[in-house]
Amino acid sequence: MSKIPEQLAQVQNRVHAALAAAGRAEDAALLLAVSKTKSAAAVREAFGCGQTCFGENYLQEALEKQQQLQDLPIEWHFIGPIQSNKTRAIAENFDWVHSVDRARIAVRLNDQRPPSLPPLNVCVQVNIDAEPSKAGVLPEELPEVLESVAQLPRLRLRGLMAIPAPRSDHGEQQKVLLQVASLLQEWQQRYPQLDTLSMGMSGDLEAAIAAGATIVRVGTDIFGAR
Ligand SMILES: *Cc1c(COP(=O)(O)O)cnc(C)c1O
Query: pLDDT, tens digit, for every residue of 179-189?
Result: 999 999 999 99
Does 219 contact ligand 1 (Cβ within 6 A)? yes
What is the reported pTM?
0.97
The CA-based angle 207-8-197, given to 5 degrees, is: 35
The pLDDT tens digits of the residues spanning 34-92 come to: 999 999 999 999 999 999 999 999 999 999 999 999 999 999 999 999 999 999 999 99
- Cβ proximity of 76 and 95 under 8 Å: yes
Q: 199 CA to middle of ligand 1, Å?
A: 10
200 lines ligand 1 (CB under 6 A): no
Ligand 1: residue whose CA is nearest its atom 6? 219
187-216 tens-digit pLDDT: 999 999 999 999 999 999 999 999 999 999
Number of structural domains the chain divides into? 1
Name the helix (H) or strand (E) containing 120: strand 120-126
* CATH number (domain holding residue 70): 3.20.20.10
**Whole-number Cα distances in Å, 196 to 37, 63, 106, 157, 184:** 26, 25, 17, 9, 8
Q: Is 202 close to ligand 1, i.e. is its CB under 6 Å away? A: yes
Q: Which domain holds residue 48?
A: 4-223
Distance CA 182, CA 167 (A): 19
Distance of CA 69 to the CA centre of its chain: 20
Q: Does the CB atom of residue 163 touch ligand 1 within 6 A?
A: yes
